[in-house]
Amino acid sequence: MPISTANFYTVNHSNHPIKTIGILGGGQLGLMLAESALPLGLRCTFLEDAPNCPARLLGKVYSSEQLDDFAKVCDIYSLEFENTPLNSAKFLEENTGLFPPSKALFIAQDRLNEKNLFNELDIKTVPFLAVNSRDELQTACENLGLPLVLKTTRGGYDGKGQFVIKNDEQIDTAWAELGDATKTAPLIAEGFINFSREVSIIAVRSKTGEIRYYPLVENEHYNGILTKTTAPAPNAEHLTAQAQSNIKKLLEHLDYVGVLTLELFVTDDGLIANEIAPRVHNSGHWSIEGAVCSQFENHMRAVAGLPLGDTSVVKPSVMLNVIGQYPSMADILALDGVHYHGYDKEERTGRKIAHITIMPTDTEKLDETVTKVVELLPNKMGL
């Protein structure tokens, strides 16, 4: 049974003026934000149409039809899901303030806006072209060369809405699969990057403009879904300055408050920006145990106008996503230095339902413990 949320709104003895934070979205990111908010005397409430969402465990959930009621109970707003309709975001922003600002959503909701901003800020990104028709797709294939990645500009996640065109014969198939999306927005054709690895950087900016960076982490995907994050990314010190400079430009340009994530490809020529997420991110879950102050707590601190916390690493760690099916939690927890976070979601193919952070007392045993955890996962997702 979900915890009763009634007391959250009747008793809150915090002496900080901001007490209730309205979060757009109610998934596991919302749940973990609310967890980190509780000790700070901050309470979260959620705007989410799925009543069974993970965040229901720690805060009241309002449907989008209840936007006005939601707006009345919150001191300020934030988000854990960037595809909230821009109009609702702007309404709340004008009401008492949305952190991050809606212009960050405007950018992150559309891959073309994102890539154009990277160019404007001199952040190296993939070569790309907008595609509005079958003819324009042909032109893009000729100009960018094959292979290329054709993507919907809006609404794609976990590798959905993408087609890698490897040869001329696949152009028609790709158009048949994705062309329909051009009725609402153009597609984007991106040059295919032969990267050696994928990394991300998470940073947080306060209301006073202070910025703190988490270390670069390395990410592994299976069928477009994040499966593993290694924190910090091994042998990445030489990439840190470029990653920090990139994300700093974005944070300052957007007058951003809160946690921002930038996903990057590592190539022989340095880092190439892929996309941003204007929120806490799956590649930062390790920070709950692995950093002095987690991405979730730092986001809450920033949004509530509190001082930021230390982003230093406590100990190297690896985070594994549990996808589709739950393992035996008892077997996982029997291993030294292993932390389990379930999201109270139904099992479903391809769905992120929990994550595990591995940081054994003896750091030398990290790889060995990761192997033991992987053996216990019913769904290994290529690990």
The helix/strand/coil state of 143 is: helix
Query: At closest approach, how far in Å is the CB of 167 from ligand AMP?
Result: 16
192 makes contact with ligand AMP (CB under 6 A) = yes
Side chain identity at 26, as an amino acid letter? Answer: G
User: What long-range pairs does 128-135 form, CB within 8 A, spacing at least 24?
Assistant: 128/188, 128/189, 128/190, 128/191, 129/188, 129/189, 130/186, 130/187, 130/188, 130/189, 131/182, 131/186, 131/187, 131/188, 131/189, 132/182, 132/186, 132/187, 133/182, 134/175, 134/179
Binding status of residue 110 toward ligand AMP by CB under 6 A? no
Cα separation, 50 vs 60, in Å, equals 12
Minimum distance, C-beta of residue 116 to ligand AMP, in the bound complex (Å)? 15
If binding is defined by CB under 6 A, does position 350 make contact with ligand AMP? no
Instruction: Kindly tell me which residue out of 90, 124, 134, 221 binds ligand AMP, with binding defined by CB under 6 A.
Output: 221
The residue to which tokens 């032109």 are assigned? 139
Number of C-beta neighbours around residue 75 at 10 A:
16
CB 57 within 8 A of CB 348: no
Answer yes or no whether residue 149 interacts with ligand AMP by CB under 6 A.
Answer: yes
Q: How far is the CB of 192 from ligand AMP (least distance, A)?
A: 4
For residue 292, the minimal CB distance to ligand AMP (Å) is 28
Minimum distance of ligand AMP from residue 272's CB (angstroms): 8
**Interface with ligand AMP includes 378 (CB under 6 A)?**
no
The answer to whether 224 contacts ligand AMP (rule: CB under 6 A) is: yes
Whole-number Å distance between alpha carbons of 38 and 6: 15
Per CB under 6 A, the segment of 56-64, 78-86, 185-193, 204-212 that binds ligand AMP is 185-193
Which listed residue (193, 306, 329, 383) binds ligand AMP by CB under 6 A? Answer: 193
* Contacting positions for ligand AMP (CB under 6 A): 126, 149, 156, 159, 190, 192-193, 198, 221, 224, 263, 274-275
